[in-house]
Structure 1
């Protein structure tokens, strides 16, 4: 049922606010009046999407990490859950986050478990989060589970930041190079070459090629940019269809360098998720199903779902993952050894950590090779432009001599 935030006043003149569940706004006012409250303001808590889920503003990774870390600290200090949620809400400066925590506390007061209360906000708390909390509620180690979730989220955030920072300089270099070349071809080269054209001088082939490129940039440069932007927009709209997106993700895995990076990144994410869920007490089949759901690439997700089916039919984890062809051989060997030794949880964490380090090293190597490659390419383009301009000048000097 929809939920409404209200501000009301009692018969004694005391102000109060809270959340009321009702069929609609009129029903909410009737319920509040039945409680002896005079309604001053009433608004829907959140709108309902077509699927029926309540959709609050989604939490960013940093906001979720902060909330999780605060809850872990308060719960490990033996503070009751309801008080911890209200304390976290009071500490939050962002109004949507504060209201989200109050809504979670309200659902717990209505008799829901914490995992079910968090599950009503799927854009804020992903399935991994809710499954870990549900397992921790059964085992009674809720504070430790929030601590593990906070560390996991922080590690993911640091990994994303390292990749973004590593890509900043190459992207700036590439964009600056393209802008400089476009400026030279569009404004500088035509004025310089026009002098030779007016003198009816025979131009070298290199200069003629440069003139043709310059004319193309001046006439069709903006049109090409508009075409590229339109193509990206159309591609984005087409990829909203699951079947096309699945085929596109399968193509990505077959690309020479990008495919290996994507495969390693998704494998590390899935195995790290599996390790956290198993350490929280989630059954292996359910943990692998949730780990498959966090994989972004749809082709790899379908393979992992096949591994879930094989595992539920009695196959071993290593054998199921080997048939799915989703993990690197080293990770499969580590998982198989861990199953035989009975140390699956610890070994999964080590395998994910090793894969993340290998992936970071591969990305760093690619970025380190990209920078000199861009410099060499930019130097070659500038050399071509300079030679195309200087060759007619040298020919003119020879004729004068």
Structure 2
């Protein structure tokens, strides 16, 4: 049954908004009137088109049209897995989750998906109306579970996958809080020294007519330039950010940029490992759910945010479709680690390709976790050393003239 978002006046003339399910817009309006409410507007919960002629969607409507967050999707997936595994039909499961949904946009999405399922669409097809809430790889995994008759098991694997990603994201975010705060405070101290302390010291020394050390002259020049040009610097940085964001929206430029990142020393190897682990995890879930290999490769490529990696996987897919072995095609891409290639080859020979992909993902994720731990442990002292060095240079530029005065006085 379709879902509609409504705006109506109650008996006291107060404006209220909410969600209602009905067979049609006419039936929804009739249901609202039966509740002693005067409907002002209706819009489909799926496409958010205003039903009342002549009405456009306001800015606040667009702001409220949120998509499911990664955490919300994780929770919904886990709950769907449990309820469907207990024998509850998909439509009833979605309706129950919508009733329990704490946020308006979550109810909107779930009710719209339930409406399409009630009309006879499969769950994966119903989710296509919300591509940003349910990514392509997510829908592909759900479709594979529906075809294999094990939707609850696939949803359970998906929930495990999403929970792992959420845990890693939360861990990295939590570990970066202190270094970020430290960096902001240190940069604030540097800015304070350069804009207030150094100019005051410069006034004192220049009035004495003494020859200042080279380091002090450089700091005074930088301070003067910063005081004069800081609005232009901020504007330039803002323009650079805007231009960069707009440029990276171009597919060709984004592909070149992603390819450049993965070729960088240290960082490039880590990024390749991350993409390979995500690829292996996705392939393991899809193949164990019953997806055929070319479709699994296509979905796994869409799961990546790195366009250079997507191009590599699409090349692998084209090679597999011509009859080449998967392990050989992956090796020719020169992206994946040797351990994963060995395990994929073993999986092809034994017929347990999905399991081998899953084991390879487990191994690579352990290595990534270790690398993240080491990197975060080194980040904090690195920031302290770098910004501490800047502060030392500034303080030294102030102390050198004072020491020079003391030497002249003693002489």
TM-score (structure 2 length as normaliser): 0.85
> Matched residues in 2 for 1:33 and 1:195: separation?
79
> Matched residues in 2 for 1:172 and 1:34: separation?
56
**Residue pair 1:4, 1:20 contacting (<8 A) in 2 also:** no
**Residue pair 1:136, 1:145 contacting (<8 A) in 2 also:** yes
Query: Are residues 17 and 223 of structure 1, via their aligned partners in 2, closer, same or farther at CA, if it must alter by over 3 Å?
Result: closer
**Residue pair 2:247, 2:253 contacting (<8 A) in 1 also:** yes
Q: Residue 258 in 1 paired to residue 267 in 2? A: yes
Structure 2: 5+ residue runs without aligned partners? 9-18, 50-63
Q: Offset of 1:87 from its aligned partner?
A: 1.1
Paired position in structure 2 for 1:160:
169
Paired position in structure 2 for 1:304:
313
Q: Residue 193 in 1 paired to residue 202 in 2? A: yes
Query: Are residues 224 and 7 of structure 1, via their aligned partners in 2, closer, same or farther at CA, if it must alter by over 3 Å?
Result: closer
Structure 1: 5+ residue runs without aligned partners? 9-15, 22-27, 49-54
Partner residue of 2:109 out of 100, 105, 120: 100
> Matched residues in 1 for 2:377 and 2:20: separation?
57
Q: Residue 279 in 1 paired to residue 288 in 2? A: yes
Q: Offset of 1:4 from its aligned partner?
A: 5.0
Aligned positions of 1:107-126 closer than 5 A: 107-126=116-135
Paired position in structure 2 for 1:44:
43
> Matched residues in 2 for 1:283 and 1:86: separation?
32
**Residue pair 1:57, 1:123 contacting (<8 A) in 2 also:** no
Partner residue of 2:233 out of 224, 228, 237: 224
Q: Offset of 1:235 from its aligned partner?
A: 1.1
Q: Offset of 1:32 from its aligned partner?
A: 7.5
Aligned positions of 1:1-400 closer than 5 A: 5=5, 17-20=20-23, 28-29=25-26, 40-41=38-39, 42-45=41-44, 46-47=47-48, 57-400=66-409
Paired position in structure 2 for 1:13:
none
Aligned alpha-carbon RMSD (Å):
2.6
> Matched residues in 1 for 2:227 and 2:336: separation?
49
Mean Cα deviation higher: 374-383 or 95-104: 374-383
> Matched residues in 2 for 1:181 and 1:362: separation?
31
Query: Are residues 197 and 328 of structure 1, via their aligned partners in 2, closer, same or farther at CA, if it must alter by over 3 Å?
Result: same
Cα deviations by residue, 1:306-364 (Å, 9 ceiling, x for unpaired): 10111111111111111122212221122112222322111111111211221222232
Cα deviations by residue, 1:120-178 (Å, 9 ceiling, x for unpaired): 22111112222222222222222222211111111111111122223222222222222
Query: Are residues 279 and 380 of structure 1, via their aligned partners in 2, closer, same or farther at CA, if it must alter by over 3 Å?
Result: same
> Matched residues in 1 for 2:28 and 2:408: separation?
99
> Matched residues in 1 for 2:101 and 2:398: separation?
62
Query: Are residues 317 and 387 of structure 1, via their aligned partners in 2, closer, same or farther at CA, if it must alter by over 3 Å?
Result: same
> Matched residues in 1 for 2:29 and 2:378: separation?
70
> Matched residues in 2 for 1:257 and 1:340: separation?
34
Cα deviations by residue, 1:242-273 (Å, 9 ceiling, x for unpaired): 11111111211222232222211111111111
**Residue pair 1:307, 1:321 contacting (<8 A) in 2 also:** yes
Partner SS for 2:166: helix
Mean Cα deviation higher: 272-281 or 122-131: 122-131
Corresponding pairs, count: 379
Q: Offset of 1:289 from its aligned partner?
A: 0.9
